[in-house]
Amino acid sequence: MRITMLGTSAAAPDPDRGGSAILLTVRGRHYLFDCGANATRSMIKSNINPVDVNTVFLSHLHYDHIVDFPYFLLTTWICDRERAPVVVGPPGTQDFVDHLFENGAFAKDIEARRQYPRRQNTEILVPDVRECEPGTVFEDEFVKVTACYVEHIPQEITPCFGLRMDTIDGLSVSFSGDTAPCDRFIELSKNVDLMIHECTFPESAIKFRQKANVGTWSHTSPKELGKIAQKANAKSLVATHFASYDTCNPVVKDIMSVHMPKDIIGPALLNEVAEDIRANFKGELRLAHDNMRIDL
Ligand SMILES: [Zn+2]
Ligand SMILES: [Zn+2]
């Protein structure tokens, strides 16, 4: 099994990190968890043909987790995709998809391109959407994927899911989506080989945000993350969904200065994050970067 971290940032635009996207590959078959900004280009950078990705899971409908989906599907359509993908996501996913293609935002593009003889196959642009509830959300001969609610956006707006994949080879990987510390996700992740968990802000930014009264949805701090991975008995942990706090780019620094003191932003902050996670988690730890590959 191979895991490719295609995109590892949160919502801020970051030239070095794309939006949330993780590719899990089991016996050569690809499964995409989230489709944030740059996911498709990142697949190509990792030598994965996006045409071969036929199953997509969306943890929730925040744009940093879904915005590349129309690019992914339209691009693979013109690159001779052979079938419409399966899309598993929270209630609201069908509505999101329905507003994109033939009757939506890209209607004129599709109308124009279908004038070409080889672009008659617009059924490719009608994904098999499966809106899910907690429990088993997908199964094929190689994998079973289960989901639980996590704590992020108010449920009445849209539920957010944590996901777990168990493979035919006895391997397991869980992914938190975006969430505050969540017992249901710890339960879902029990004894996983690899936990991939959001770690949006370092402790120093969290303190700053509290004082600055920056409005936010719920996330998990590095110290909390260590406890979560320890409680779940995860063999290995990948922290991801970093709010660009390690950037060297002056524009991103300006943007992120709403969330944390500008002078602490930079690669060294990752050392603090690693130390804070390790204070509570004794297993193997990786801090994600785009195109990072993990073989299990
Ligand atoms: Zn997010
Ligand atoms: Zn979110």
d(CA 198, CA 189): 14
Token pair, residue 199, equals 């770690």
Structure tokens, 149: 């609610």
The alpha carbon of 61 and the centre of ligand 1 are apart by a number of angstroms equal to: 9
197 CA from centroid of ligand 2 (Å): 13
Mean per-residue pLDDT of the chain: 95
CB-based contact 217:178 (threshold 8 Å): yes
Distance from Cα 121 to the centre of ligand 2, integer Å: 34
Q: Three-state SS across 32-86?
A: EECCCCCHHHHHHHCCCCHHHEEEEECCCCCHHHCCCHHHHHHHHHHCCCCCCCE
- The pocket of ion ligand 1, defined by CB under 5 A, consists of 64, 178
pLDDT at 124 over 70: yes
Distance of alpha carbon 142 from alpha carbon 295, whole angstroms: 17
Q: Distance between CA 100 and CA 107 in Å, rounded?
A: 8
Which residue type, as a one-letter code, is found at position 288?
A
Look at residue 57 in the predicted model and tell me its pLDDT.
98
Q: Where are the beta strands (DSSP E) in the chain?
A: 2-7, 21-26, 29-33, 53-57, 86-89, 128-131, 135-139, 143-149, 161-167, 172-175, 194-198, 236-240, 284-287, 292-295
Say which ligand is closest to the CA of 198. 1
User: What's the pLDDT score for residue 118?
Assistant: 86
pLDDT at 48 over 90: yes
- What pLDDT, in 10s, does the model give residues 218-264? 899 999 999 999 999 999 999 999 999 999 999 999 999 988 889 99
Mean of the pLDDT values across residues 7-36? Answer: 97
Report the percent of the chain where pLDDT is more than 90: 91
Nearest ligand by distance to the CA of 216? 2
DSSP 175: E
Span from the CA of 29 to the centroid of ligand 1 (angstroms): 26
The pLDDT of residue 208 is: 76
Q: Which ligand is nearest to the CA of 217?
A: 2
Pairing relation of β-strands 194-198 and 86-89? unpaired
Q: With H, G, I as helix, E, B as strand and everything else as coil, classify residue 232.
A: helix
CA of 10 to the centre of ligand 1 (A): 5
- Beta strands at 292-295 and 135-139: parallel, antiparallel or unpaired: unpaired
pLDDT at 205: 81
Give pLDDT tens digits for 125-173. 999 999 999 999 999 999 999 999 999 999 899 999 999 999 999 999 9
Predicted pLDDT at 213 = 67
Residue 152 alpha carbon to ligand 1 centre in Å: 9
The pLDDT value recorded for residue 215 is: 59
* 35 CA to centre of ligand 2 in angstroms: 12
Question: Are the C-beta atoms of 250 and 14 separated by less than 8 Å?
Answer: no
In the predicted model, is pLDDT for residue 190 greater than 70? yes
Kindly give the distance from the C-alpha atom of residue 20 to the centroid of ligand 2, in angstroms, as a whole number: 9
Tokens of 9: 């940032």
Correct CATH for 2-295 of 3.60.15.10, 1.20.58.1610, 1.20.1560.10, 3.30.1360.10 = 3.60.15.10
**pLDDT number for residue 108:** 97
Q: pLDDT digit string (tens) for 200-216?
A: 999 888 777 777 766 56
- Distance from CA of residue 25 to its chain's centroid? 15
Q: Which of 46, 51, 55 is nearest to 3 (CA)?
A: 46
pLDDT reading at 191 higher than 90:
yes
The confidence score (pLDDT) of residue 168 equals 98
225 within 8 A of 240, measured Cβ to Cβ:
no
Give CA 272 to chain center in angstroms: 23
Residues paired with residue 295 on neighbouring β-strands, in sequence order: 2
Q: Compute, in angstroms, the gap from residue 243 CA to the centroid of ligand 2.
A: 12
Q: For residues 281 and 273, is the Cβ–Cβ distance under 8 A?
A: no
Measure the CA–CA gap between 109 and 102, rounded to whole angstroms: 9
Domain boundary assignment for the chain: 2-295
pTM of the model: 0.96
How distant, in Å, are the alpha carbons of 76, 129, 173, 268 from that of 273? 37, 37, 22, 9
